[in-house]
Amino acid sequence: MLLTRHAKERLVKRLAKRKKLERVYSALWAFLDRSRRIDVNEKVVIFTDGRKSLVCAKLECERLPLGEIKERVGGISRACECVFLDGRTARETIPRKFLESVPDGEYCFYINREKRSLYIGSAPPLLAITLRPAKKSERECAD
């Protein structure tokens, strides 16, 4: 899961209490563990724990072997926000250095060079839009 700047600010304010990237993602994964997933439509997903709701959009990705992913990010020398969903790791680092810790396999791959974000995981990526108080219908579904 990747975060918009707004979603990152909301997570820091409401869950993580610190701006360090690893702290924000660990708070996010803890929230996802205790939440229920609601598929609104083919593009929007909401995760809710009955009190708060995380609104996400599905992103288009490619399914590639790790070798090809390394080739694609080989030319990037600036630090990116790198997320490996399966290992639940997120770091601000150079992509080729980050990929050294990823085990061999085929993964969903998404990169946004403009926003400097990289996602690798077995599930397609989601973009967290905002964290907001749960609506009444979401609170009832979480019970």
pLDDT tens-digit profile of 80-124?
999 988 888 888 989 988 888 888 989 999 999 899 999 999 999
Mean pLDDT rounded to a whole number for the chain: 89
Q: What is the dihedral of CA 75, 81, 82, 86, to 10 degrees?
A: -160
What is the pLDDT, as a whole number, of residue 109? 93
What is the pLDDT, as a whole number, of residue 141? 59
pLDDT at residue 142 above 60?
Answer: no
Cα separation, 102 vs 92, in Å, equals 15
Architecture field, domain 1-59+125-143: 2-Layer Sandwich (3.30)
Residue type, 17: K
pLDDT at residue 143 above 60?
Answer: no
Domains of the chain by residue range: 1-59+125-143, 61-123
Residue type, 45: V
Overall average pLDDT of the 64-88 stretch: 89
Name the pTM for this structure.
Answer: 0.86
pLDDT tens-digit profile of 41-57?
999 999 999 899 999 99
pLDDT at residue 21 above 70?
Answer: yes
Express as a percent the part of the chain with pLDDT over 90: 53
What is the pLDDT, as a whole number, of residue 131? 92
